[in-house]
Amino acid sequence: MPNRLKIQQIADNIYFARPPLFQRLGILSTTANASYNDILNTIILQDDLFFKKKGQPTRLKDYDDSQTEKINYFSLNSVSIFHELAHADIDIFIEEDPNSEMYQTVVNEIPKWAGENIYGFNAKSVTHEIIGYTAGNILEVLNNKINTILTSHGIHPNLTKCFSTGALIKTKSLLNIDADIKFKDVLKRTSFYDEFIPKDIFIKGRHISVKGFPLVLKRKVLNYFIKTYAISIDSTTLIRKMNNSHYREKLADCYNPLL
């Protein structure tokens, strides 16, 4: 549940495009769902991420579109897109603003560490990918936690239906769900902090271990995401947000008939 206003700010300053013709024809192949071009300020997305229907304008698929597909690719695709949006954030905002709290970290501190510890790779590229993979990890971890919470409360993660009445009755008793229907912290105040920073990244298909990424730099990167994107750093915060979102409406739909 990242800050939509920040994401919209980035989106308003870049372009989204389908793969160039030579990619779509297979002349230049790529396995990435999304990639950012810092010269054109454009995120290039695979064709299957677009909704195309005769008589309607082509647009990016959204959550509702994913509900009509046999497999829900929305979460996977959103992780890839958020990864690329982080590259755009660095390119358009952080590197262009010396007063940004992340400017020194992105322009000097992480590249310095990368240059001294990661051999055979451009330090700037390593910096961008550490932040990009952190963004992707954040969304993937939060999505997994949300799915766990939904399942624990008797809701199928795709939100299309509740569990059976018998299963809901058992869950209602187990979680002590009363008339004030709310999600309970089934993760028991778990911190997500250590799960957000990647241990491995990839540049042009080549694996790089970043297990030695210093704690002080991890904190700076994560604090930026926490402050700028308003991400949930633990289950307590996540539950609070879910109880103020559309997820709670679905929870009420499932349990109101049992009250």
Neighbouring C-alpha atoms within 13 Å toward the C-beta of 212:
7
Cβ atoms within 10 Å of 101's Cβ, excluding its own = 13
Instruction: Output the pLDDT for position 70.
Output: 47
| Residue linked to tokens 């939904």 | 150
**Residue 44: which of 66, 9, 15 has the closest Cα?**
15
* The pLDDT of residue 1 is above 80: no
From residue 93, alpha-carbon distances to 89, 98, 178, 225 in Å are: 5, 10, 46, 14
Q: What is the mean pLDDT of residues 242-250?
A: 93
CA pair distance 199, 212, nearest whole angstrom: 8
Split at pLDDT 50, 70, 90, the class of 217 is: very high
* Spatial CB neighbours of 185, under 8 Å, sequence gap ≥ 6: 235, 236, 239
Least confident of 37-51, 137-151, 180-194: 37-51
Tokens describing residue 162: 């509740």
Beta bridge partners of 42: 15, 37
- pLDDT reported for residue 37: 84
DSSP code for 150: H
Q: Tell me the sheet residues that pair with 206.
A: 203
Average pLDDT, the chain: 86
Structure tokens at 19: 């793969």
pLDDT class for 69, splitting at 50, 70, 90? low
Instruction: Tell me which of 114 and 4 has the higher pLDDT.
Output: 114
- Of 35-39, 101-105, 107-111, 171-175, least confident by mean pLDDT is 35-39
Q: pLDDT at residue 49 above 70?
A: no
Average pLDDT over residues 149-176: 92
Sign of the torsion formed by the C-alpha atoms of 198, 203, 206 and 209: negative
Helices of type H across the chain: 4-11, 21-24, 63-66, 74-88, 103-104, 110-117, 123-152, 165-175, 193-196, 215-229, 235-242, 246-255
